[in-house]
Structure 1
Amino acid sequence: MANSAAAAGRAAIKKKVLSSGEYARICQFINEFSGGLPMDCELEMVNRVFTDIEPLALICILQTELFNIARGQHWRHETRSKKLLKTYEDQCHLYNDNTLVIRIACAENMSPVALCRLLLQEKYELKQKPLISRLLKHPHLINDSRLAANVQQCLYSDNQEGPITDLRRRIIGEEYELKLKRLAKEAGIYFYDEQDLRRMGYDKTPDIKLILPFIYKGLVVNWIESKANFGDPKSHKWNIQQQLLSYCNRFGHGIIIYWFGYHEETPQLPDNNIGITVLADFPARKDLVFMQLPE
């Protein structure tokens, strides 16, 4: 009975480290998905297609892939903003609901919130992004009640863009930073956090800087960075340039934890040779060697 329970527990563990082939198949599925919202694509991947892979890894890959697609198509949608607004205004009186913008977004293969941005920009001749963002955060300020209702529905239905999605991601990031600090304390590690380091005058700071370094598999670790994300090679290289390089220059070798997993090639990138170890979880206690201070 105990053996069967252990086997069931192992079977429930989802893959967090993905091979090149697995990652390519996920990206291909995302690029070929049509006829629905990004939320529909997410549910399809998690519940039906890639059931052996960590769901949060799939969600992060979807986010990254859709961002890259949207960035490549933004100029095309921008040039069609007048036509998109006309399409909405010609049809908005034909439907007594608040999902017209969502249907247009699906037909145009766009994020609903991205379409809202274009419609608001074109309708109210807004050139400054903060003004558009304000209307998205507060749809009741839109003087067209029908459009306001559509924008509000888009905010609820878009899991890739918008203030609600941004808030959710920020909360998840903070949750995993707290998890990192809790696990570090449980392992007996003493550290400074970001607030401590900023008070000491540092500008770019890792999530925790060890007061007394430890040794992990033969390497001295001075800092740990938490990422509530999936570490694909391109994103990891960006993180190195934006953050990790400065940590290595100032503090020495460190660890970055991608809590939702990473691409198998990410830890092997030559870019890591500056002093970066890539993990998908907090290092196991048996692999940590603590330095002993002389009495």
Structure 2
Amino acid sequence: MSKMKLTRAEYRVLAKFMEQLRPTRQCMKMLKDRFPDHSQSTLLSIFSLEYQKRMKRSLVKHHADVIEDYYQRYRSEASEHPSDPVLLELANEVDLSPSLLARLLLERFLEEHQGSVSSKQVVNSMLREPSLIPDVQLAKHVEQIPKLFPAFPKLCIISTIGQEHEEILREKLREKNLSFVVLTLAETAARTVLKLSKFGAQGSLRRPRTADKWIGNKLPNTGDSPLILINGDVKRRSAPHDGVNSPADENQLRAKGYDKTPDIILEVPVAVEGHIVHWIESKASFGDEQSHHTYLNEQFWSYWNRFGPGLVIYWYGFIAELDCQRDRGILLKDCFPSDIVTLCHSPDQC
């Protein structure tokens, strides 16, 4: 069975080996040959993380004047050799990821032809669907990236992978007959306010040494949720009159920190390996030191404050030593747990 959890020492060996590799089919074969005990999906996820870190460190070299030089070189080469993978060759030469160079060239092209800088949304939509790019040649070269550099699929494919794993999680919960909901921003805000009023603002924001206080505590219910549960499936009601129906209201909630919610909120808490779980977060990536600490600070502790202890599934594995917050309410797994025990709030529910 392929390994998905690594020790810090094992991860460092992997990262060191990946330092000089580029995202090609050959590099993935080299990784699999060198580390046969690790799953290909885990190796790919780790390589993507490490390559992105390398690109971020090198960004300081790619200032405006340098980007202009890349653009002019690309236009010249594309004109002289229209059938060659010019963008990919240039990316290799200047040590930039093909996807990042494609973004820089596209932004520069749109600025030149539209007279202004295009929004991030416009650029992202064109990278997702190159046929939207008004220059046929540039569109063709952008479209070549996921074919020749499979380690960096298009943005839409990355998004789809995350959605697929969320659906896998929902299906696993249905198989176990576990009821769950997916919260809107308005629902998150309402439940947070109720929780603060019930437990007191100061007490609810502390991280306890153990999760014992959450045993038997059911998640507060507002009674007018925009989502309802029918046999484990989430259905949407007509919008409630809760004062949060406009984009402006949604933006206000985001400004107050309500923009992040777990993928799954369990209607009845469960126990996994002796730990209470109120929510589950799905991550279609490997959990390395940097990304996990970012998630802890920006997402997981926020979930804990609002909903109690929970479970994070890193589907492509994680560094084993990071699973050190169990007694404080954050449990890590690399697959859906097999030993789930449903907790009861009253004798009638057992």
After TM superposition, the score normalised by the length of structure 1 is 0.81
How far did residue 96 of structure 1 move?
4.3
Aligned 8 A contact 1:113 1:158 in 2: no
Deviates more, 1:94-103 or 1:49-58: 94-103
**Corresponding residue for residue 117 of structure 1:** 103
2:8 pairs with 8, 20, 38, which one? 20
The within-5 A match list for 1:102-141 is 102-125=88-111, 127-130=117-120, 131-140=122-131
How far did residue 186 of structure 1 move?
2.3
Alpha-carbon spacing, 1:148–1:203, altered in 2? closer, same or farther (3 Å): closer
AA aligned to 1:238 is T
| Root mean square deviation, CA, Å | 2.8
Deviates more, 1:178-187 or 1:138-147: 138-147
AA aligned to 1:29 is F
Alpha-carbon spacing, 1:90–1:248, altered in 2? closer, same or farther (3 Å): same
1:83 pairs with 69, 73, 76, which one? 69
Aligned 8 A contact 1:142 1:148 in 2: yes
**Corresponding residue for residue 223 of structure 1:** 279
AA aligned to 1:189 is L
Aligned 8 A contact 2:283 2:314 in 1: yes
How far did residue 155 of structure 1 move?
5.2
Alpha-carbon spacing, 1:214–1:153, altered in 2? closer, same or farther (3 Å): closer
What SS does the corresponding residue of 2:159 show, helix, strand or coil?
helix
Please say if 1:258 is aligned against 2:314: yes
Unaligned runs of 5+ in 2: 189-225, 228-241, 243-257
Please say if 1:68 is aligned against 2:53: yes
How far did residue 154 of structure 1 move?
3.0
The separation in 2 between residues aligned to 1:117 and 1:293, in whole angstroms, is 56
- How many percent identity over aligned positions? 28
Aligned 8 A contact 2:128 2:155 in 1: no
The within-5 A match list for 1:114-263 is 114-125=100-111, 127-130=117-120, 131-140=122-131, 142=133, 144-154=135-145, 156-159=147-150, 165-194=154-183, 199=226, 204-263=260-319
Unaligned runs of 5+ in 1: 1-12
How far did residue 15 of structure 1 move?
0.1
AA aligned to 2:107 is Q
How far did residue 290 of structure 1 move?
3.3
The separation in 1 between residues aligned to 2:301 and 2:41, in whole angstroms, is 27
How far did residue 124 of structure 1 move?
4.5
Aligned 8 A contact 2:24 2:148 in 1: no
The separation in 1 between residues aligned to 2:79 and 2:267, in whole angstroms, is 64
Name segments (4+ residues, structure 1) moved above 6 Å: none
Bigger fraction of residues in helix? 1
